[in-house]
Amino acid sequence: MSELSFPGSQATPPRQLDALERAPKQRSYWSDAWVSLLCDRVALAGGILVVLMFFLAVGADWFAPYDPLKQFPEGLTARGAPIEPNAQFLLGTDNLGRDLLSRLIWGGRISLTVSILANLVSLAVAIVVGGAAGFLRGAVDTFVMRTVDIALSFPTLILQIALATVLPPSIGTVIVVISIFAWAYPARVFRGQILSIRERSFVESARSIGASELRIFVRHILPQLLPTIVVYFTIRVPSAILTEASLSFLGLGVPPPTPSWGNMILSGYQLYRQAPWVVLFPGFAIMIAVLGFNLLGDGLRDALDPRERR
């Protein structure tokens, strides 16, 4: 008996079925970026360093062997000098007999928290300012870009020092001081990208069906900025870490006795000859944090840019 056939239908040959089953599935943009990032060993090493630092910072209550503020009588020599690394104090003690490892772990939590929050605030301002300039254009664009030019013309560190001396010392002050001068450059970058995105066909299509300008920006333009935001956030964290360390070293950052890597160096730099570990370990922690975020940021930049993928 011959096989029944219907008009307009055609059986797919077995060979074509096998070829369709073996054909690679289309991966999404983010899946491609993730695979590309995993293939980058240097970026992967940076990511591992960042994850380890976050793991220690979040679990500081469990990983720190002692209270970071506790002063141990046995943590100082008879002459009042810090104790070098030993079985009780694995990284030694500081100038007040406090366990350096505990302060290093807790200082990592403070330094990373300040850096991340400062970057989130500055990027939020940059998105709003850059979005207004690139999307509204005209007089708004001119005013915003002239403001950005003025903001970028000032020496940032000097202004941060001046502002930190006026405001009361606190962690919140450090976040404000870092973020208030860090929005200008990313705002310029975002504005340039928005000028390009707003002319694409999918934006014109959304506008033609009556979508509001706010909806177009939130639903269509902002997602296109997400890769740039992710990369810029990762790359700017090291700068915020160094700024916090610089302000704390000058006595204008996180106020003692709350530990941060910067004020740990401040409290021990006068003892670097007789107790070099008091300065070396916080400095090494800053170096590892900056290196990890820089390696991860470079890898993310290459992974999220289709032109850089191999």
The pTM for the full model equals: 0.84
Q: How many residues does the chain have?
A: 310
Tokens of 80: 């009042």
**Contact between residue 89 and residue 100 where contact means Cβ atoms under 8 Å apart:** yes
Tokens of 176: 């404000």
**C-alpha–C-alpha distance, residues 229 and 224, integer Å:** 10
**C-alpha–C-alpha distance, residues 276 and 177, integer Å:** 30
Residue 54's identity, in one-letter code, is: F
Residue 5's identity, in one-letter code, is: S
Count CB neighbours of 70 within 10 A: 12
Return the DSSP state at 212.
-
Q: Would you state the pLDDT for residue 241?
A: 94
Give the residues across from 93 on adjacent strands: 99
- As a whole number of Å, the end-to-end CA separation of the chain is 55
Q: Would you state the pLDDT for residue 112?
A: 94
**C-alpha–C-alpha distance, residues 114 and 173, integer Å:** 10
**C-alpha–C-alpha distance, residues 36 and 309, integer Å:** 7
Q: Would you state the pLDDT for residue 309?
A: 54
**C-alpha–C-alpha distance, residues 87 and 127, integer Å:** 50
3-state secondary structure 216-261: HHHHHHHHHHHHHHHHHHHHHHHHHHHHHHHHHHCCCCCCCCCCCH
**C-alpha–C-alpha distance, residues 134 and 191, integer Å:** 5
Q: Would you state the pLDDT for residue 38?
A: 85
**C-alpha–C-alpha distance, residues 156 and 165, integer Å:** 14
**Contact between residue 174 and residue 254 where contact means Cβ atoms under 8 Å apart:** yes
One pLDDT digit (tens) per residue for the chain, 310 residues: 444 444 444 555 555 545 545 555 566 777 888 888 888 899 999 999 999 999 999 999 999 999 999 999 998 988 888 999 999 999 999 999 999 999 999 999 999 999 999 999 999 999 999 988 988 888 999 999 999 999 888 888 889 999 999 999 899 999 999 998 899 999 999 999 998 888 888 888 888 888 887 888 888 888 888 888 998 899 899 999 999 999 999 889 999 899 999 999 998 888 888 899 999 999 999 999 999 999 999 988 888 876 655 5
Quick one: which H or E segment has residue 7?
A: none
Contacts of 183 (CB under 8 A, 6+ apart): 122, 123, 125, 126, 129, 151
**Contact between residue 55 and residue 82 where contact means Cβ atoms under 8 Å apart:** no
Structural domains of the chain in order of their starting residue, each with its CATH number: 50-65+90-308 (1.10.3720.10)
Q: Would you state the pLDDT for residue 6?
A: 43
Rounded (5°) CA angle 25-27-31: 145
